[in-house]
Amino acid sequence: MSFVRTTVAVSALFAFASAAQAQDRVQIDWWHAMGGALGEKVEAIAAAFNASQDEYEVVATNRGNYTETMTGAIAAFRAGEQPHIVQVFEVGTATMMSAGGAIKPVFEIMEESGKDFEPSGFLAAVTGYYTNDDGQMLSMPFNSSTPVLYYNKEMFAAAGLDPESPPQTWPELEEASRTLISSGAATCGFSTAWQSWVQLENFSARHDVPFASKNNGFQGLDTELLINSDTHVKHIQALADWSQDGVFKYGGRRGDGQALFTSRECAMWMNSSAGLAGIRRTAEFDFGVGQLPYWPDVVGDPKNTIIGGASLWVLSGHDDADYRGIAEFFDFLSSSGIQSAWHEGTGYLPITPAAFTTTTLSGYYERNPGADTAVIQMTSGEPTGNSKGLRLGNFVQIRDVINEELEAIWAGDKTAQEGLDTAVERGNDLLRRFERANR
Amino acid sequence: MERRVYFRHKALPYFLLAPQLAVTLIFFIWPSIQALWQSTQIEDAFGLSTEFVGLENFALIIADPLYASSVLRTIFFSFAVAALGLSVALYLAAKADRVIRGRLFYRTLLMWPYAVAPAIAGVLFLFLFNPTFGVIGVLLNRTFGIDWNYLLQGDQAMLLVILASAWKQISYNFLFFLAGMQAIPRSLVEAASIDGAGPKRRFWTVIFPLLMPITFFLLVINIIFAFFETFGVIEILTKGGPAGATNILVYKVFNDGFIGLDFGSSAAQSVILMGIVIALTVVQFRYIERRVTY
Amino acid sequence: MVERGNAGRQMSHVILVLAVLVLAFPIYVVFVGSTLTLREVVQAPMPLLPGSQFVENYLTALTDGALEGGGGVPAWRLLMNSTIMALGIAIGKITISIISAYAIVFFRFPFRMTAFWLIFVTLMLPVEVRIVPTFGIVSALGMLNSYQGLIVPLIASATATFFFRQFFLTIPNELLEAARVDGAGPVRFFFDILLPLSKTNIAALFVILFIFGWNQFLWPLMVTTDPDFNTIIIAINAMLSAGDDQVEWQLVMATTMMAMILPIAVVILMQRWFVKGLIEHEK
């Protein structure tokens, strides 16, 4: 009798103790910009972490789209109410990293927590975007994607092209487009989403030419745009010429033009690898995924493309215990189980080679052909100074400037040279203003 | 316009005014002062480093050819919205004034767009005019062979945001014109009729001159609407593009401040906008004062 | 009325009917879109006859809210937020305006004109021009992502105050004198006499301000970063910027229909007061 009573009492005591412990858990606020189905996956990650240990509790909250999330976190910081972790899109990287007093670099957090943390255990092309010039990781890559080429296999077959071999180079792509149009299989050759990201930023990386000076801004705020080089002008002028005869059709700044592809107007479509799921849902035809084309006369062996998407930044002004929890969480986040599940569930890239291996071994890519194209393209060779990423201040406005100038070029109001010269000039003004504000 | 008789009470009036004044001071006056102050600063997004630059932000804005073009676009846009909205509404009101049966019916069916938010008007026109799947957009491209792509053609984008904004304003203007026409003494119109003036002449010689005050009032209201309240239309349809073709002043303030995080320049632009509103308000009230006196 | 020619009148009817149809066409298209599948919407040209997905689309939008960018907030909650914001703004504006107009018209006190001008100034500072610093203040007061934050900064109203002032000035002095003879103080006068007399004016103003509140865009876009406090109009904007994901056009259209129903119903059902209010409010 007394044994039973003692056992009950002891276990009640334990239950009480662990409940108290749960209440005492250190809370870590994570603001993210993932809505809908993606948001649910984010919350699932937080829940899995919370269940895996009992010291910390990560609370994930959706704060609107990327811009709203970032502006919200900045406003909160100014009011002294900042979250621990905030998800910031890649163009906000320079703003975050220049705010020295506002952020706490990831490598520092990992170092202080004594975590065994080795940046070389990550995919260089993914983490490179978020490391400083010394190779130290400033923020934690979270959702990364890269542009790929989607093509309509049925149209390729109808035009007498091989539906299993998408064009590799721009000249091949032009030829394929003309065949597709003249055979009546399509009314337009290709369209592109996120024109600055795909046709200039990734173009530069793939052809190993600088987008901006100072290692694309990694080596200092006194960087200048270099997108009016002959290589860039030649490419943009080619697109402009093609847009006059239907080979290329412009469909909007963001992903708006996807309907051109899914409604069978354009045969090819360049967009983020994370757009795969959406295309699968809306395209009533068989399609394939190819790599982003290159100009063989510029580069014989194209470099890796760079990433888009977002990373997790840690804000300053919290307790040491909180940062230890964040280190635990990031460790959990980069484990290959979590990473491969995230990759398979969302189409975003895994951040470690280990996660890629896990996914490959699971047979995922055999079941989902085309899902590995982005990873292969990302990992084709060691990133160079030109293909590591971009670190430009006021980048949101610079992209706007580039969008505006490109639109003027597509519309035929300006030549590629004129438009890109103006873009460089206007972009440099914005860079100087940022440099001044962040002295 | 003063009362002869009133209450005497020391504390009560202040108490009654307190909520309104508190909101005014906290959310109107104080932020405006802050905007003035911020317009003289250059600072980073987090507010970690600020630099007092005097009027430099203003100088940069005034020297910026893009700002000048944004001003011109805003003026063109506002007058186009006002002109389109007013003329269509006036025409319809004249027609509705002539019919005997069903006037109320038409009024009901013509006034509901007033309830539609500018942003929603943007969504409606997006579905109609999207070049790839919009009903009219596709029609223009395929049947009429017009190269309709407002994402690329600045003129088309401008036309579209004008149409969407004017669509929303027609019902508002219509109600005022109709009320104005019905307030015109019947004897006046009949007299003109006896003199042998046809409906067209009656409209231009008798009715329209009497509507001038309302027209002028509506012009100001429509311009203010186009200046400030069309933000939603622009955000949904064009986001200021293509190539800045629809980047009106209010949109630019928002874009530079909240998207670009350049608070100094955005604040300076706000201050310039305040100047414009004050000018418009003065015009509006001088006019109303005049109307009250006669 | 004086028109004798039947032909001219017939023509007027034709033109008016055409205008009604043209004005309504955008809504018809959106309605049709809201009854189709996503694939049908993006197949150009989109069908112009309603499809089979009416129940499914509206149910999904209302309850599921698994909308990319919409933050996973179901439309019923968005509609509730919009209603709370619109009601809060309409009632708030009417309440604080009627009492301040009462103070300005029926009392004499130092700084009366100062107060009047302070209120007048708000006309010149639309939310669009002071948006950035106002955001800072609301954030400093901890009112981001709350109904107070959505409502309170917008409830000062010069136009509503002038509207009531104009009406109060028409109240005969005799009425006030009689009340005072009866021993009615300012509070009793307000509740027993003034308020009942203002009923129509309040109703008229309510319609206009409800629409004003419902249709707010820039302000809720700024102060709600937590999707739980999004209004339906902000959510539609978010749904349109889906980033890497496919925009769910059919759900956007269903949500758009729902975002229009209530304000349109309010305007049409209360049109008698609305028209009166609109014409007099703006004078």
| Interchain pair A433, B45: CB under 8 A | no
Collapsing DSSP to helix, strand or coil, B174 comes out as helix
In the block, which residue shows the tokens 């600063």? B41
A35, A63, A277: residue with CB nearest C69: A35
Amino acid letter for position C249: W
Q: Kindly state the percentage of chain A with pLDDT values over 70.
A: 94
Nearest to A340, CA basis, from A331, A328, A352 = A352
Find the CB nearest B132 among A99, A251, A408.
A251
C125·B274 Cβ contact <8 A:
yes
Q: Given C44, C227, C245, which is nearest A62 (Cβ)?
A: C227
- Locate the chain C residue with the closest alpha carbon to B102: C13
Give the per-residue pLDDT at A6: 46
Give C222's pLDDT tier (boundaries 50, 70, 90): confident
Place of tokens 């007027």: C12
pLDDT above 90 (res C163): no
* Subunits adjacent to chain C (3 or more Cβ pairs under 8 Å): A, B
pLDDT at C240: 77
pLDDT bracket for residue A330 (50, 70, 90): very high
Which positions ≥6 away from C3 have C-beta within 8 Å?
A: B98, B199, C9
- Beta carbons of B189 and C112 less than 8 Å apart: no
User: Does a structural domain hold residue C25?
Assistant: no
- A-chain CB neighbours of B45 within 8 Å are 74, 95, 99
What mean pLDDT comes out for the span C256-279? 86
Q: For residue C46, what is the nearest residue in chain A, using CA coordinates?
A: A263
Residue C3 scores a pLDDT above 50: no
Give tens-digit pLDDT for A37-66: 677 788 889 999 999 999 999 988 877 778
B118 at C interface, C-beta within 8 A: yes
pLDDT of residue B294: 31
Q: Does the pLDDT of residue C183 top 60, yes or no?
A: yes
Report the residue from A102, A397, A433 with minimal CB separation from B46.
Answer: A102
A76-85, A241-250, C197-206 — which is least confidently predicted? A76-85
In this predicted structure, what is the pLDDT of residue A328? 93
Domain boundaries, chain A: 25-145+307-367, 147-305+393-437
Mean pLDDT lowest among B187-191, B196-200, C63-67, C91-95: C63-67
Q: Which residue of C has its CA nearest to B143?
A: C45
For chain A, the three-class secondary structure string (H helix, E strand, C coil) is CHHHHHHHHHHHHHHHHHHHHHHHCEEEEEEECCCHHHHHHHHHHHHHHHHHCCCEEEEEEECCCHHHHHHHHHHHHHCCCCCCEEEEEHHHHHHHHHCCCCECCHHHHHHHCCCCCCHHHCCHHHHHHHECCCCCECCEEEEEECEEEEEEHHHHHHCCCCCCCCCCEHHHHHHHHHHHHHCCCCCEEEEECCHHHHHHHHHHHHCCCCCEHHHHCCCCCCCCECCCCHHHHHHHHHHHHHHHCCCECCCCCCCCCHHHHHCCCEEEEEEEHHHHHHHHHHCCCCEEEECCCECCCCCCCCCCCCCEEEEEEEECCCCHHHHHHHHHHHHHHCCHHHHHHHHHHHCCCCCCHHHHHHHHHCCHHHHCCCCCHHHHHHCCCCCCCCCCCCCCCCHHHHHHHHHHHHHHHHCCCCCHHHHHHHHHHHHHHHHHHHHHHCC
Instruction: Report pLDDT for A17.
Output: 43
pLDDT higher than threshold 60 for residue A10: no
Interface A-B, measured as beta-carbon pairs within 8 A, has a size of: 90
The stretches of chain B forming alpha helices (DSSP H) are 12-24, 30-38, 56-63, 65-98, 103-111, 118-129, 135-142, 154-182, 186-194, 199-202, 208-224, 231-237, 249-254, 263-293
Site from A407, A433, A434 to mutate, B interface, most B CB atoms within 10 angstroms: A407
CA-angle at C211, arms to C207 and C217, nearest 5°: 160
Chain C residues within an 8 Å CB radius of A282: 38-39, 42, 246
The verdict on A377 touching C (C-beta cutoff 8 Å) is no
Q: Looking up tokens 């206007």, which residue turns up?
A: A426
Q: C144: which chain A residues are within 8 Å (Cβ-Cβ)?
A: 72, 75
CATH number of A147-305+393-437: 3.40.190.10
Give me the mean pLDDT over the A101-120 stretch: 85
Evaluate the omega torsion of the peptide bond into residue B242 and state whether it is cis, within 30 degrees of 0: yes
Q: Give me the mean pLDDT over the A223-240 stretch.
A: 96
The pLDDT of residue B288: 58
CA distance A381 to A251: 32
Residue B231 at interface with chain C, using a CB cutoff of 8 Å = yes
Contact C236 B35 (CB under 8 A): no
Question: Within an 8 Å CB–CB cutoff, is residue B57 touching chain C?
Answer: no
Rg (CA), chain B: 24
- Give bridge partners of residue A29 from the DSSP assignment: A59
Q: Which domain holds residue C81?
A: 69-281
The answer to whether residue A404 scores a pLDDT higher than 80 is yes
Please report the pLDDT score of residue C283 as a whole number: 45
C4 falls within a domain = no
Distance between CA A175 and CA A177 in Å, rounded?
5
Mean pLDDT throughout A407-411?
A: 91
CA distance B204 to B185: 16
Q: Which residues of B touch C121 (CB under 8 A)?
A: 24, 28-29
Residue C20 lies in a domain: no
Note whether B130 contacts A: Cβ–Cβ < 8 A: yes
Could you tell me the pLDDT band of residue C96, with boundaries at 50, 70 and 90? very high
Q: What is the mean pLDDT of chain A?
A: 87
Chain B residues with CB inside 8 Å of C9's CB? Answer: 98-100
Q: For B142, which residue in chain A has the nearest alpha carbon?
A: A187
> Does the residue C2 lie in any domain?
no
Interface residue ranges in chain C relative to chain A, Cβ cutoff 8 Å: 38-39, 42-44, 66-72, 135-136, 139-140, 142, 144, 224-227, 238, 241-246
* Structural domains in chain B plus CATH codes: 76-239 (1.10.3720.10)
Which of A29, A38, A198 would you mutate first to test chain C, the one with the most C CBs within 10 A?
A38
**Chain A positions in Cβ-Cβ contact with residue B241 (cut-off 8 Å):** 253, 403-404, 407
pLDDT value at residue B271 = 87
Distance between C136 CA and the closest CA of chain A, angstroms? 7
Q: How far apart are CA C202 and CA C196, in angstroms?
A: 10
Q: Is C22 part of a structural domain of the chain?
A: no
pLDDT band at C128 (very low <50, low <70, confident <90, very high): low
How sure is the predictor about C243, in pLDDT bands with cuts at 50, 70 and 90? low
Mutate to test the interface with A, among C77, C225, C231, C239 (most CBs of A within 10 A): C225
Q: What is the pLDDT of residues C19-36, one digit of tens each?
A: 999 989 999 999 998 998
Indicate yes or no: CB of A277 within 8 angstroms of CB of C246. Answer: yes
pLDDT at position C244, please? 58
Instruction: For an interface test with C, give the residue of A38, A61, A68 to mutate (most C CBs within 10 A).
Output: A68
Q: Residues of B numbered 229-248 whose beta carbons fall under 8 angstroms of chain A's beta carbons: which are they?
A: 239, 241-244
Residue C215 in domain: yes
Closest CA to A198 of A56, A294, A69, A87: A294
Neighbours of A273 (CB within 10 A): 28
pLDDT of residue B161: 95
Question: What is the per-residue pLDDT for C280?
Answer: 65
Cis peptide before C45 (omega within 30 of 0): yes
Q: Is C24 domain-assigned?
A: no
Best of B28, B126, B139, B194 to disrupt the C interface by mutation (most C CBs within 10 Å)? B28
Question: Given an 8 Å threshold on Cβ–Cβ distance, is B48 in contact with A102?
Answer: yes
Best C12, C48, C91 member to test B by mutation, with max B CBs in 10 Å, is C12
Test A407 with B243 for CB contact under 8 angstroms. Answer: yes
**Which of A257, A263, A439 is opposite residue B49, by nearest beta carbon?**
A439
Which pLDDT score, from 0 to 100, does residue A14 have? 44
Reduced to 3 states (helix: H, G, I; strand: E, B; else coil), residue B41 is strand
3-class secondary structure, B139: helix
User: What's the structural domain count of chain C?
Assistant: 1
C156 vs B12, B27, B274: nearest CB: B27
CB–CB contact A433 B244 (8 Å) = no
By the CB < 8 Å criterion, does B36 face chain C?
no
Rounded alpha-carbon distances, angstroms, from residue C223 to A31, B230, C90, C218: 16, 19, 19, 9
- Enter the CATH code of domain A25-145+307-367: 3.40.190.10
For residue C245, list chain A residues with Cβ-Cβ distance below 8 A: 36, 38, 274-275, 277-278
Cβ separation C225–A69 shorter than 8 A: yes
Domain of residue C180, CATH code? 1.10.3720.10
pLDDT at A120 over 70: yes
CA-to-CA distance for A130 and A274, rounded, in angstroms? Answer: 19
Residue A409: is its pLDDT beyond 90?
Answer: yes
pLDDT at A316: 93
Q: Does the residue C255 lie in any domain?
A: yes
Please identify every stretch of chain B with a pLDDT value under 50, giving residue numbers as ranges: 1, 291-294
How far off is chain B from C1, nearest CA to CA, in Å?
Answer: 6
Which of B34, B41, B46 to substitute to test the interface with A, most A CBs within 10 Å? B46
